[in-house]
Structure 1
């Protein structure tokens, strides 16, 4: 059955039925003109992201459930990177009328399952017809009394640390783009990121001076911190171990695996800076240091020769 056969309100009913029980932050969920959520901290952290078919996902590469999880993860990772926890999501779905209703239902299930990892809920949104399948998500979050961790707080002498993994999703993208479906660990990483949500607030409590979600590539995203903080960030290449399956895939595909590790996006790791001699929270590891500078990011003291990451207004590439 297609969306056109079901109709807008039939689609809404089917999708809402799959969103699960509202979380503790939800006063009023889907069903009225707007949702009502609580903000105990008195401040609301907000982020939005858009996924467009053919640009951010392909239905022949990932099913609707995984695409739903990716859509939620991309937003909730940004909330975590501020030192906050996501509480609720608003989702807009623009879909071709001939889209199968089951696909939309599975998308809702994926959104709900990923949101549940941090106790968040999908509280509303919008739907409309469109020739291009597009998913827009806005996430709201709570700082729980903490100061937000900005991009502009890094200082010379700070250490640079990473929580989560990099390179896996980019390697999976390259594998899929070359027409393969293995290694499974890489392909699955592209389809469904593993985001270290709890490590964001933990970094805030531990005194992180800056933080960012690694969505477009570690070098590119650390560049945002370097420019906002007016510093130079230097990464140590030897702190990045190439996993065996990634090394084998890189050899087979003729790719430098460090291009995936240092410049690949979509894993949604968290990168942060901490004062020197900080006791890092569990799950964080040192990968570099902060120096005097004017917004550069270097690797072992020199400029990285490849592309630093993803650019949404340039043609897609295998990195």
Structure 2
């Protein structure tokens, strides 16, 4: 076991292209060289792969950090998603957490466990996906670690910079605030339903499940407009608003009429016997951003109001049109079904 930073990749690395053979045939150091050859620089990464550790600039003198894990068979399937898709998704779900704090992503660290018999091009294409998603968020891969294991496991640690602003946490919502969201809701869950039935279209929803597109710019923009609480929608709208309600000790009421349910999502719901509103309210992995704002706030572009913050009646909770949502939904790593 050896980290990507200390892997000793030669200057310039290996040529980028399809890597033949298996990971076992490539070997640990060959795999490290292949992965590091795909890393591109970013201004915040002062020292990247090739040393014992990376050096990432932190002008704010505070570092926003988050980490997440994707496990094959639970969070992704190789027959549903390419390695590149998994790389984009793994990076996106961590970069979205940085943005949801009102911060700017700077760097990623990769922890990768793979079987020796895995085709060698799989981890290199994974790295291409991670690199490209990091580029979308103006961040870069700074290093990581590789190890051999029985199943593919991808762990990402993301770092970010607040640029002098205060972080926006889950605990700042106050009665009277409005609740607003930006990004897609329910698209990944609808895509999962399509894939589960052996289909690959409508493609937009399938791609939303394979490669979420978080609105990274929206987090810092919301912070600048005075957002009082914020989170990304990774577990489902109700579940993630529930985190805000609990941390802020408030009740949050969502208005169903203000939620966007595209006609094509309704068509999918009709085909599979699911109310599409359930996907919008409880489907996870879209990584939209939801926040609360003082009522008089002029919202940033592409945000829409979907509810309000109220004083708690008894316990903090989330309601829909004034009533508790009593249908199943929301992601729980120890309770939800795996992707298959």
Q: Counterparts of 2:115 and 2:338 in 1: how far apart (Å)? A: 27
Work out whether 1:9 is the aligned partner of 2:38: no
C-alpha offsets along residues 179-227 of structure 1, whole Å, 9 cap, x if unaligned?
2111111101001111100000000000000000100100000000000
Contact 1:79-1:141 within 8 A present in 2 as well = yes
Contact 1:162-1:272 within 8 A present in 2 as well = yes
Aligned-pair distance for 1:267? 0.6
Segments of 4+ moved more than 6 angstroms: none
Aligned-pair distance for 1:308? 4.2
2:320 paired residue among 299, 304, 308? 299
Contact 1:218-1:262 within 8 A present in 2 as well = yes
- 2:39 corresponds in structure 1 to 19
Aligned-pair distance for 1:315? 3.8
Q: Counterparts of 2:225 and 2:261 in 1: how far apart (Å)? A: 29
- 2:195 corresponds in structure 1 to 176
Structure 1: which 5+ residue stretches go unaligned? none
C-alpha offsets along residues 4-29 of structure 1, whole Å, 9 cap, x if unaligned?
00001100101111122x10001100
- 2:53 corresponds in structure 1 to 34
- 2:296 corresponds in structure 1 to 277
2:166 paired residue among 147, 157, 176? 147
Q: Counterparts of 2:139 and 2:267 in 1: how far apart (Å)? A: 38
Contact 2:68-2:94 within 8 A present in 1 as well = yes
Q: Counterparts of 2:71 and 2:293 in 1: how far apart (Å)? A: 35
Q: How many residues are paired up? A: 317
Work out whether 1:262 is the aligned partner of 2:281: yes
Q: Counterparts of 2:322 and 2:329 in 1: how far apart (Å)? A: 15
SS in 1 for 2:188: helix
- 2:11 corresponds in structure 1 to none
Structure 2: which 5+ residue stretches go unaligned? 1-20
SS in 2 for 1:155: coil
Calculate the TM-score normalised by the size of structure 1.
0.98
C-alpha offsets along residues 80-124 of structure 1, whole Å, 9 cap, x if unaligned?
000001100000100011111111111000000000012101010
SS in 1 for 2:171: helix
- 1:111 corresponds in structure 2 to 130
User: How big is the alpha-carbon RMSD for the aligned residues of Structure 1 and Structure 2?
Assistant: 1.0
- 1:53 corresponds in structure 2 to 72
Q: Counterparts of 2:260 and 2:222 in 1: how far apart (Å)? A: 23
Q: Which piece of structure 1 moves more, 301-310 or 253-262?
A: 301-310
